[in-house]
Amino acid sequence: MSEIGEHHGALAHHFEDLEQQRQSADLGMWIFLATEIMFFGALFAAYAVCRWMNPAGFSTGTSLLDVPLGTVNTAVLIGSSLTMVWAVQAGHRGDSRSIIRNLVGTLLLGSVFLVIKALEYSHKFHDGLVPGSLFTYGGEQAAGVEMFLCFYFVMTGLHALHMVIGFGLLVWLILLARRGRFTKEYSNPVEGVGLYWHFVDIVWIFLFPMLYLLEH
Amino acid sequence: MDETTNYRAQSVRIFLALMVLTAVTVAVSYVNLGALNLPVALLIACTKAGLVLVYFMHLKGNLRLLWIVAGSGFLFLAILITLTLSDYFTRQAVG
Pair (B1, B15) in one structural domain: yes
Query: Is the pLDDT at A160 greater than 80, yes or no?
Result: yes
* Element holding B77 (H helix, E strand): helix B64-89
Pair (B4, B39) in one structural domain: yes
Query: Is the pLDDT at B34 greater than 50, yes or no?
Result: yes
A33 located within any domain: yes
Pair (B8, B26) in one structural domain: yes
Distance between CA atoms of A200 and A32, rounded to whole angstroms? Answer: 13
- Percentage of chain A beyond pLDDT 70 is 96
Contact B41, A209 (CB under 8 A): yes
Pair (B46, B74) in one structural domain: no
DSSP, collapsed to helix, strand or coil, labels residue A199 as helix
Pair (B50, B22) in one structural domain: yes
Nearest residue of chain B to residue A85 (CA atoms): B56
Domains held by chain B: number: 2
Nearest residue of chain B to residue A95 (CA atoms): B4
Pair (B71, B90) in one structural domain: yes
Burial class (CB in 10 A: 0-12, 13-18, 19+), A173: buried
Indicate which of B10, B57, B87 best probes the interface with A, i.e. most A CBs within 10 Å of its own CB.
Answer: B57
Q: What is the domain extent for residue A112? A: 13-213
Pair (B48, B70) in one structural domain: no
This model of the complex carries an ipTM of: 0.92
Asked if A45 and B56 come within 8 Å (Cβ–Cβ), the reply is: no
Distance between CA atoms of A107 and A113, rounded to whole angstroms? Answer: 10
Pair (B91, B75) in one structural domain: yes
What pTM does this model have? 0.93
Pair (B35, B69) in one structural domain: no
Asked if A30 and B80 come within 8 Å (Cβ–Cβ), the reply is: no
- Distance from the B52 Cα atom to the nearest Cα atom in chain A, whole angstroms: 7
Burial A89-113 (b: 16+ CB within 10 A, else e): bbbbbebbebbbbbbebbbebbeeb
Instruction: Please provide residue A142's backbone torsions phi and psi, each rounded to the nearest 5 degrees.
Output: -50, -45
Domains held by chain A: number: 1
**DSSP letter string over A1-33?**
--HHHHH-TT--TTSSSHHHHHHHHHHHHHHHH
In CATH, what number is assigned to the domain containing residue A142? 1.20.120.80
- Per-residue pLDDT, averaged over B21-30, amounts to 96
Distance between CA atoms of B29 and A216, rounded to whole angstroms? Answer: 7
Nearest residue of chain B to residue A38 (CA atoms): B77
Which of B26, B52, B89 shows the shortest C-beta gap to A71?
B26
Nearest residue of chain B to residue A26 (CA atoms): B66
- Distance from the B20 Cα atom to the nearest Cα atom in chain A, whole angstroms: 10
pLDDT tens profile A185-199: 999 999 999 999 999
pLDDT tens profile A103-141: 999 999 999 999 999 999 999 999 999 999 999 998 899
Which of B26, B57, B77 shows the shortest C-beta gap to A37?
B77
A79 located within any domain: yes
Pair (B47, B69) in one structural domain: no
Q: Which chain B positions have a beta carbon within 8 Å of A27's beta carbon?
A: 63, 65-66, 69
A185 located within any domain: yes
Closest listed residue to residue B57, CA positions, set B79, B41, B73: B73
A2 located within any domain: no
Residues in chain B: 95
Q: What residue type is assigned to position A211 of the chain?
A: L
Pair (B95, B75) in one structural domain: yes
Nearest residue of chain A to residue B4 (CA atoms): A89
Query: Which of these ranges, A17-31, A188-202, B12-26, has the smallest mean pLDDT?
Result: A17-31
- Per-residue pLDDT, averaged over A6-22, amounts to 83
- Write down the pLDDT at residue B62: 86
- Write down the pLDDT at residue B61: 83
Distance between CA atoms of B76 and A172, rounded to whole angstroms? Answer: 33
Asked if A206 and B22 come within 8 Å (Cβ–Cβ), the reply is: no
pLDDT tens profile A34-70: 999 999 999 999 999 999 999 999 999 999 999 999 9
Cα–Cα distances (Å) from B84 to A203, B29, B89, in that order, read 20, 26, 9
Residues in chain A: 216
- Distance from the B39 Cα atom to the nearest Cα atom in chain A, whole angstroms: 10
Cα–Cα distances (Å) from B62 to A57, A193, A211, B68, in that order, read 44, 17, 33, 11
Q: What is the domain extent for residue B92? A: 63-95
A24 located within any domain: yes
* Element holding A95 (H helix, E strand): none
Contact A11, A5 (CB under 8 A): yes
A182 located within any domain: yes
- Distance from the B49 Cα atom to the nearest Cα atom in chain A, whole angstroms: 5
Query: Is the pLDDT at A6 greater than 90, yes or no?
Result: no
A28 located within any domain: yes
A3 located within any domain: no
- Write down the pLDDT at residue B93: 61
Pair (B10, B56) in one structural domain: yes
The pLDDT confidence band at residue B1, using thresholds 50, 70 and 90, is: low
